[in-house]
Structure 1
């Protein structure tokens, strides 16, 4: 049978209120009495209930983290950064994965509210231009600090940490152009998300600055999944006037491209050059040196967690929004080269 506070109070010869003060480190307790209670706790092998303690202190020391793709290395590194800072401040994390599903995200928000979490770090599934009353009400009704990571929610002002997607895409397209490419295809993500739109802007900007026409036939609209990227790559490889290079907007889509290349015996960069956005370590492990735009993901997680902690420490008095833009870095590994035949 589980040991209760009543059992400890009886063993120590004190009141239950005294035991509670010792457990929660609140209120004055004589040192002699405190030692009696601690001795009883040790002898009875008592483990305090986190739920019970949170009810008595009104603090759960728990924050919620909501991501759309837990299997994506991009979010894995973000979570790592969040976790590192959370550990330093003795904060617990409840992690929710939405699979890019709006209903799952709503469910996660409701679940976290029931768990009395103190704040949320979230990469929203909802596109920022889609007004959804139930979703916005869910955020508003939480009544706790919310920090966005690389996602925007229109109609609401939240602090957040974001990547300069325009610069990242511009640098990637420019690298292909400087390698000698003039026919450069792009596989986008969901165009109702700001990161995808900004990456397309960066791609077009690089072409325009270098006096290369932006041709619609080389713009392929994807959805961040490797399945769609696989099908699009097959389509690109069958084009009569096919491009010599492809800029791919996400790491997961790179996998789809590489699968299509493998099936069609396409060599990189001899037959087709390619640059991705965000890295995939497994490609390096198997010797496929693919150039990529590297977003500072671990740093993003750390900074998002620090912003949230600052909001928690300042309580409702904090009114200043913090929006931090991080610069991506282009990592060239040779797949961007133009091999003349």
Structure 2
């Protein structure tokens, strides 16, 4: 027979909304804590009748399992970590959306970290995720190939959980990942400008310590070489993927004695800076100068600016990365390294055109 004290506690739980514990459920159902734990975690054998008693007690007490407590008992959570270098960049917004769509299908939660391209923030995020007992990580590394050090490698390799790279290579490691063919994208964009009639083509690229920037520069050079157009150092600029830098560089380009007739801009954020400078200087696109950007920028469609661009499959990048992580979680014994390369597409909207008597000629 249950004690008077127990009924007093039960009354306080129901009336005052006190936190319900496994002990409370065990007493209500007349079973041990271990039995309640087995029912909650769906582990071990429990008689049908006993299970029904426990479930009835859970319902009557309106018990909600603690995710933290469950992770302590199972040594894992239903959560994955996602680390990106620039959450304000529409590129990563689309990637995260793709990850989230697939995660929802598999009832997985996401803990998201933004590193602001800061190495220390990334290392801190990795350590915090380790404490959260997550199942796996999807990451676009801030660390570049040239800056890689033993501390970073040790942090990644000691996790003991699946890690999937999203469009960011980590040298000397063997992680699976999904990437965009940046060489093809930059080649196609530069070639489109050449086919439109341009021979003086500038590039505003990212920082050359990053793999995407290196590959986009290769694509740019390859296209010029294929059409026997000399590579001119004066038309090569580095905007570090920053809006402000691209704005300043574009103003520099417009002041050149022999400026280019077209600009290939290597990221969506830099396209915004470029367009701002052109607008302030009352430069018409493509009448005065032509441009093509890498990555889609939805805001340009909204305001009716027909800017040609290389469409990196960002949504698919996130979806594919998440599916790769799920495959790794479902088959932890399989150590096969997978590298998926997604092809970008060029979308021409007129800004690449060459206009006779171009302002820059």
Secondary structure of 1:241's aligned partner: coil
Gaps of 5+ in 1: none
Counterpart of 1:311 in structure 2 is 328
In the TM superposition, what whole-angstrom CA distance separates every residue of 1:69-97 from its partner, at most 9, and x where no partner exists? 11111111111111111111111111100
Counterpart of 2:342 in structure 1 is 326
Rounded Cα–Cα distance in structure 1 between residues aligned with 2:52 and 2:136: 35
Counterpart of 1:109 in structure 2 is 126
For the aligned residue pairs, the C-alpha RMSD in angstroms reads 1.0
Rounded Cα–Cα distance in structure 2 between residues aligned with 1:267 and 1:338: 12
Counterpart of 2:279 in structure 1 is 262
In the TM superposition, what whole-angstrom CA distance separates every residue of 1:245-281 from its partner, at most 9, and x where no partner exists? 1000000000100110111011111111100000110
Secondary structure of 1:214's aligned partner: coil
| Preserved contact between residue 130 and residue 159 of structure 2 (Cα < 8 Å) | yes
Counterpart of 2:7 in structure 1 is none
Counterpart of 1:335 in structure 2 is 351
Rounded Cα–Cα distance in structure 1 between residues aligned with 2:205 and 2:72: 47
- Structure 1 window deviating more from structure 2 (49-58 vs 119-128): it is 49-58
Rounded Cα–Cα distance in structure 1 between residues aligned with 2:108 and 2:212: 30
In the TM superposition, what whole-angstrom CA distance separates every residue of 1:74-126 from its partner, at most 9, and x where no partner exists? 11111111111111111111110001111110110111011111111100001
> Aligned to 2:213, which of 196, 218, 222?
196
Tell me the number of residue pairs that the alignment of Structure 1 and Structure 2 aligns.
340
Counterpart of 2:201 in structure 1 is 184
Counterpart of 1:232 in structure 2 is 249
Gaps of 5+ in 2: 1-17
Secondary structure of 2:264's aligned partner: strand
Rounded Cα–Cα distance in structure 1 between residues aligned with 2:238 and 2:318: 28
> Aligned to 2:143, which of 126, 129, 136?
126
| Preserved contact between residue 75 and residue 133 of structure 2 (Cα < 8 Å) | no
Offset at 1:285?
Answer: 0.1
> Aligned to 2:227, which of 180, 201, 210?
210
Whether 1:38 aligns to 2:75 is no
Counterpart of 1:4 in structure 2 is 21
Rounded Cα–Cα distance in structure 2 between residues aligned with 1:189 and 1:221: 5
Secondary structure of 1:142's aligned partner: coil
Counterpart of 1:22 in structure 2 is 39
> Aligned to 1:96, which of 108, 113, 124?
113
1:239-258 mapped onto 2 (5 Å cutoff)? 239-258=256-275
Q: Provide the TM-score with structure 1 as the length reference.
A: 0.98
Offset at 1:129?
Answer: 2.4
Whether 1:78 aligns to 2:95 is yes
In the TM superposition, what whole-angstrom CA distance separates every residue of 1:30-54 from its partner, at most 9, and x where no partner exists? 2222222112111111110011112
Secondary structure of 2:113's aligned partner: strand
Rounded Cα–Cα distance in structure 2 between residues aligned with 1:265 and 1:196: 29
1:270-285 mapped onto 2 (5 Å cutoff)? 270-285=287-302
Counterpart of 1:66 in structure 2 is 83
Rounded Cα–Cα distance in structure 2 between residues aligned with 1:202 and 1:305: 28
Q: Which has the larger radius of gyration?
A: 2
List structure 1 segments (4+ residues) > 6 angstroms apart after TM superposition: none
Offset at 1:157?
Answer: 1.2
Offset at 1:59?
Answer: 2.5
Rounded Cα–Cα distance in structure 2 between residues aligned with 1:37 and 1:333: 64
Q: Provide the TM-score with structure 2 as the length reference.
A: 0.92
In the TM superposition, what whole-angstrom CA distance separates every residue of 1:117-156 from its partner, at most 9, and x where no partner exists? 1111100001112231221111122121111111111111
Rounded Cα–Cα distance in structure 1 between residues aligned with 2:273 and 2:129: 34
Counterpart of 1:165 in structure 2 is 182
Rounded Cα–Cα distance in structure 2 between residues aligned with 1:128 and 1:330: 28
- Structure 1 window deviating more from structure 2 (26-35 vs 218-227): it is 26-35
